[in-house]
Structure 1
Amino acid sequence: MYAQPDTPSTANEGTDAHYCALDQSPGNPGIRRKNQKLILRAASEAFAVTGFTATHSHDIAERAGLPKANIYYYFQTKENLYVQVLMSFVEPLVKASAALRKSDDPIVGLRAYIKARIRIIREHPFSAAVFSQELLSGGKHLPEACKNLLHEEAQRNVACLRNWIDHGRLAPCDPEHLMIFIWSSTRTYTNLAWQMSQLRGMAEPDKADFDRATRTVTQMVLGGVVPA
C-alpha cells in the first residue's frame, strides 16, 4: 500500500485514467469488482478505527493500495461509501435474522438466530463495528430505506416471539426486550472484542472463542425463556 497526497499528481491521474478505461471495458468486469471490494474493506477498517468524520479519502486509498480518485470514481462521495459499508453489514444481518422464523420450534429458531448473528459479526468485524458506532450516534447517516428494512425485519421477529409466548411455547416475557437482549449480547463480541482478548490472553478472539460465545449466549437465553 502507498500513501496518496490530497491533490493527485500527474502520475496518479494517469493511473486513474487507466483504471477507468479498464472499468468501462465490457471485457474487464472483474477489475471493477476487485477494486470495489478493496475499497469497501479499507473503508470498513478506517471508519471502524477513526469514525466517519475523522476518516479521509486518502486514508482509505492508502489502506486499499489504490489511487484516491478511484474512490470518487466508484462511490462519488465519502458519504456514499460510508452507506455502502453500513449496507455490507446490514444486508447479511437481515438475512441472518430470518433464521429465527425458519422453524416452528422456538428452541431451534433461537439457537439458529443467535448462531447466525454471531457468525455474521465474526465474518464482518469492521463493518459490524461501524454499524454499532452508527447506532450509538443515533443513526444519523443511516438511510431511511435501511432503517425501514431493519424495522420491518425486527417487527417480524418480535411477532414470531410474541406468538410463541402467547401459545405457551416460551415463558412469559416482553418480546421486544428479549430481542434487544439478543441483539446486545451478540453484538458485544464486536464492541468488546479487545476485552475478551484480554481475558483470554490472546491478540484477538478466534473461532473457538466465538463458538463458546454462541453456546454461552444460547444457554443464557434458553435458560430464561424455555418453559419449565
Structure 2
Amino acid sequence: MSRIRQHNQHLILEAASAEFAAKGFDATQTRDIAARAGVPKANLYYYFQSKENLYAKVLLGFVEPLLAASAVLRESDDPIVGLQAYIAARIRIAREHPHIAKVFSSELLLGARQLPAECRDLLYAEAQRNVECLRSWIDRGLLAPVDPQHLMLFIWSATRTYTNLGWQMAHITGQKKPRDADYRNAAATITRLVLGGVVPEVAQAKQPLMFAT
C-alpha cells in the first residue's frame, strides 16, 4: 500500500469515526465525511466503495484493540494481575479511541445489526476464552464462586460507561470531557470494586493493588 493511499484511508477513517459518533450511521452523509477528511468525495468511494463498507471498517478498527485487551487478561495466571491489566486496557481504549468507542457502543445498543460477521466471530471466540479463564480461576479457588459470564458482563458495562455516558460524566465531573486523571480514577475504582468482590482477602494482602493506565 502506497503512503498516499494509506494516509488518505487514515484521514477518511478518522473523519468517519467522528461523524458516525456524532450523528449515527443513518444521519451521517458521505459528503460530510469527505469534507471533514479534506479529500474529494470520490476518494471515499474509491477506497471504501460505500458508506456501509466504511462503517464496517470503523467497527473493525475497534475490535482489534478489544482483542488485544482481552489477551492481557490471560497473560498472567494470577487473577489480580490479569483483572487489573484487563480493566486498565479497556479504559485505555476508551481514552485513546473515543469516537470509535462511541460508534461501537451505539452499534451494540442497536442490536449489532450492522456489525460484520467477521467482528461477531472474533468477539464471540474471545469472549468465550475470557469466560473460561475466569471459570478456571474460580474452580481453583483463586476467585470467589461467582458466575464468570456475569462477572465479564459487569466489567464490560463498567468500562464502557466512559463512552456511553458522556453527558452524565460531564455533569458529575464539571468537565466537558474526561481528563487523563478521570480515566486513571475510573480504572482504579472499577478495579477496586471488582477485586473487592471476587478476590479473597488473603490473596489481596499478598498482592497489593497497583492502579495505572
TM-score, normalization by structure 1: 0.86
Q: Is 2:100 the counterpart of 1:127?
A: yes
Identity %: 65
Distance 1:183 1:107 in 2: 17
Distance 1:202 1:51 in 2: 24
Q: Which amino acid aligns with 2:29?
A: H
Aligned to 2:79: 106
Q: Is 2:109 the counterpart of 1:140?
A: no
Q: Is 2:205 the counterpart of 1:227?
A: no
* Residue 194 (structure 1) shift: 2.6
Q: Is 2:124 the counterpart of 1:151?
A: yes
Q: Is 2:181 the counterpart of 1:208?
A: yes
Distance 1:147 1:199 in 2: 34
Q: Which amino acid aligns with 2:146?
A: C
Distance 1:111 1:59 in 2: 40
Aligned to 2:11: 38
Q: Which amino acid aligns with 1:116?
A: A
Aligned residues: 201
Higher relative contact order (CA 8 A, sep 6+): 2
The root-mean-square deviation of aligned C-alpha atoms, in Å, is 1.0
Aligned to 1:198: 171
Aligned to 1:171: 144
Aligned to 1:83: 56
**Structure of higher CA gyration radius:** 1
Over residues 80-107 of structure 1, what are the superposed CA-to-partner deviations in whole Å (9 max), with x where a residue is unaligned? 0000000111111111111110001000
Runs of at least 5 residues in structure 2 that lack an aligned partner in the other structure: 202-213
* Residue 35 (structure 1) shift: 0.8
The structure 1 segments of at least 4 consecutive aligned residues displaced by more than 3 Å after TM superposition are: none
Match of 1:181 among 144, 149, 154: 154
Distance 1:76 1:30 in 2: 20
Aligned to 1:67: 40
Q: Which amino acid aligns with 1:58?
A: R
Distance 1:204 1:111 in 2: 24
* Residue 203 (structure 1) shift: 1.8
Any idea what SS the aligned residue of 1:168 has?
coil
